[in-house]
């Protein structure tokens, strides 16, 4: 069965510091993809970063990087130089199953950036 686990319901980080949000996944698929989304209090889901299961290098997008450890089935999000605007819910998601067109979401981590 496909599953995404986020074990940190809430996290705090000082402004300008780096923070790591944890995500582990379970799948029997050989080909899958991992995503991170940001959801501010307004509710919209904002795509942050994507990592394919066959990608050998960790994905990076500006201040976001994905620490992909395939053997451990983990896909942690690292946010560098945190900003006040980073305060939001963060969801880890996986594409897999059903021909690779099914998406599974974790329960989310609430990040608060402290000035």
Partner 1 sequence: EAGVTQSPTHLIKTRGQQATLRCSPISGHTSVYWYQQALGLGLQFLLWYDEGEERNRGNFPPRFSGRQFPNYSSELNVNALELEDSALYLCASILLTSGSYEQYFGPGTRLTVT
- Summarize as ranges the residues that interact with partner 1 (CB under 8 A): 33, 35, 37, 42-45, 47, 50, 91, 93, 95, 98, 100-108
Q: How far is the CB of 54 from partner 1 (least distance, A)?
A: 13
**Strand-pair category, 74-79 with 64-69:** antiparallel
Cβ contacts of 44 within 8 Å, gap of 6 or more: none
Residue placing its CB nearer to partner 1 in the complex, 57 or 101: 101
Q: How far is the CB of 111 from partner 1 (least distance, A)?
A: 15
Residue placing its CB nearer to partner 1 in the complex, 16 or 70: 70
Residue placing its CB nearer to partner 1 in the complex, 42 or 115: 42
d(CA 68, CA 89): 20
Give the three-class secondary structure for 12.
Answer: strand
Nearest-5° angle of CA 56, CA 59, CA 64?
155
Q: How far is the CB of 14 from partner 1 (least distance, A)?
A: 25
């Amino acid at each position: 069965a496909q599953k995404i686990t986020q074990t940190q319901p809430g996290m705090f980080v000082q402004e300008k510091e780096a923070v790591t949000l944890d995500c582990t996944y379970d799948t029997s698929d050989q080909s899958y993809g991992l995503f991170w989304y940001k959801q501010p209090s307004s509710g919209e889901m904002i795509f942050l970063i994507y990592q394919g299961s066959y990608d050998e290098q960790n994905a990076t997008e500006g201040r976001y990087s994905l620490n992909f450890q395939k053997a451990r089935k983990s896909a942690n999000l690292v946010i560098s130089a945190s900003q006040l605007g980073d305060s939001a819910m963060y969801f880890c998601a996986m594409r897999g199953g059903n021909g690779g067109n099914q998406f599974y979401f974790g329960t989310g981590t609430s990040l608060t950036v402290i000035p």
